[in-house]
């Protein structure tokens, strides 16, 4: 059968197209897969089934899919590729308006969610959508449409979430804002009113611990505060943060863990210095801080609304 828009291609022909589009080292590796034709045919069926109103020629899709594999790719990468996501992204990059409508309907709510998380407001959210449309769907002289570069190794929704967050952060210029922390911000989260023990600690150590935490936070570098914002305010995973910085997720996780450890250690030192109390007492207080660190960071890392 033909290979044009909306037409089906035989599984063996799909295999031939895929192998021809691969570089020599990869071609030899994939040619040895006994079920290559069936695997590729299944990817095509998945893609068509996911987006029945979108049509990309079989040959164009399979050729594009082959171009996404790195030199060290193998059977696992082929089987795990998110073919439906790649299919939709490719159609958008090719300028298919029906595909773009489907894409925006399915994924642009991530821009609105990111705007809420970053407190960007509706005007900036609208500007971000326009910019992201251009970045994703329009090829320019110095770059292809970004949708054409989506590899299918991760989740398309997560990819858009990272793209939206980065664009909103750029628009906000958040790294230039001064971070301010309410004196009571930390303990507003750490001390529920119905917990007598925490209320006692609040009354006894509120100002000193709040000031110590603020000092520790201010001592972090701009990069470290940005990494914490990504995780705490923007809701990004270590995979998302790794994608932003071009590093492995394990490295991103180590970065975040190191920042939190330094933040807590600096706070510990400051509390002990300010209060002149025994180490065991400081540790008792900071165990409570550590247990609620995620929620407390969400409050204390907010940029100054007037900044």
- Distance between CA 36 and CA 137 in Å, rounded? 31
pLDDT at 1 over 80: no
Residue 268: what are its φ and ψ, rounded to 5°? -60, -45
**58-70 average pLDDT score:** 90
Domain boundary among 172, 192, 223: 172
pLDDT tens-digit readout, 3-21? 444 455 787 888 999 999 8
Element (H, E) at 150: none
pLDDT at 198 over 80: no
Residues 145 and 99: beta-carbon distance below 8 Å: no
Asked if the structure places residue 187 within a domain, the reply is yes
CA-nearest of 172, 303, 175, 156 to 243 is: 156
Do 67 and 103 belong together in one domain? no
- Distance between CA 153 and CA 83 in Å, rounded? 9
pLDDT tens-digit readout, 141-169? 878 899 998 988 888 988 898 888 888 88
Q: Is the dihedral of CA 228, 298, 230, 215 positive or negative?
A: negative
Asked if the structure places residue 307 within a domain, the reply is no
pLDDT at 38 over 90: yes
> What confidence tier does 283 reach under pLDDT thresholds 50, 70, 90?
low
Per-residue pLDDT, 285: 60
Per-residue pLDDT, 20: 92
Per-residue pLDDT, 287: 56
CA-nearest of 126, 91, 123 to 108 is: 126
Domain boundary among 144, 172, 200: 172
* Structure tokens that stand for 143 in this block: 């770059």
- Distance between CA 125 and CA 131 in Å, rounded? 10
> What confidence tier does 212 reach under pLDDT thresholds 50, 70, 90?
confident
pLDDT at 2 over 80: no
Per-residue pLDDT, 282: 65
Per-residue pLDDT, 112: 93
Domain boundary among 145, 172, 199: 172
Do 55 and 155 belong together in one domain? no
The residue with greater pLDDT, 34 or 99, is: 99
Biggest alpha carbon–alpha carbon distance for the chain: 82
Print the domain residue range for 291.
Answer: 177-300
For the ranges 6-15, 122-131, 197-206, the lowest mean pLDDT is seen at: 197-206
Asked if the structure places residue 89 within a domain, the reply is no
Asked if the structure places residue 268 within a domain, the reply is yes
Do 212 and 228 belong together in one domain? yes
What is the residue-averaged pLDDT of the chain?
Answer: 77
For the ranges 33-37, 67-71, 113-117, 233-237, the lowest mean pLDDT is seen at: 233-237
> What confidence tier does 187 reach under pLDDT thresholds 50, 70, 90?
very low
Asked if the structure places residue 193 within a domain, the reply is yes
Do 110 and 72 belong together in one domain? no
- Distance between CA 56 and CA 76 in Å, rounded? 25
Do 197 and 289 belong together in one domain? yes
**261-279 average pLDDT score:** 74
Do 231 and 287 belong together in one domain? yes
Do 213 and 256 belong together in one domain? yes
- Distance between CA 195 and CA 3 in Å, rounded? 69
Considering its fold, how many domains does the chain have in total?
Answer: 3
* Structure tokens that stand for 150 in this block: 């989506």
């Amino acid at each position: 059968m033909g290979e044009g828009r909306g037409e089906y291609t035989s599984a063996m022909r799909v295999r031939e197209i895929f192998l021809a589009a691969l570089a020599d080292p990869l071609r030899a590796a994939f040619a040895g897969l006994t079920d290559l034709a069936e695997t590729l045919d299944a990817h095509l069926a998945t893609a068509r089934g996911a987006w029945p109103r979108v049509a990309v020629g079989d040959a164009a899709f399979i050729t594009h899919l082959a171009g996404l594999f790195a030199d060290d790719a193998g059977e696992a990468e082929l089987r795990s590729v998110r073919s439906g996501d790649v299919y939709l992204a490719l159609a958008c990059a090719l300028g298919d308006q029906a595909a773009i409508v489907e894409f925006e309907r399915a994924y642009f709510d991530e821009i609105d969610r990111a705007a809420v998380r970053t407190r960007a407001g509706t005007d900036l959210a609208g500007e971000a959508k326009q910019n992201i449309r251009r970045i994703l769907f329009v090829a320019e002289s110095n770059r292809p449409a970004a949708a054409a570069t989506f590899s299918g190794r991760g989740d398309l929704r997560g990819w858009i979430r990272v793209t939206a967050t980065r664009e909103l952060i750029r628009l906000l210029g958040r790294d230039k804002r001064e971070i301010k922390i309410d004196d009571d911000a930390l303990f507003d989260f750490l001390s529920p009113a119905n917990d007598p023990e925490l209320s006692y600690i609040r009354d006894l150590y509120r100002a000193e611990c709040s000031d110590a935490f603020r000092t520790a936070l201010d001592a972090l570098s701009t990069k470290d505060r940005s990494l914490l914002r990504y995780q705490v305010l923007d809701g990004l995973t270590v995979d998302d943060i790794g994608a932003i910085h071009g590093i492995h997720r394990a490295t991103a996780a180590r970065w975040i863990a190191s920042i939190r450890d330094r933040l807590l250690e600096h706070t510990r030192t400051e509390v002990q210095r300010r209060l002149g109390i025994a180490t065991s007492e400081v540790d008792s207080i900071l165990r409570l801080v550590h247990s609620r660190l995620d929620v407390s960071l969400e409050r204390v890392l907010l940029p100054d609304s007037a900044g």
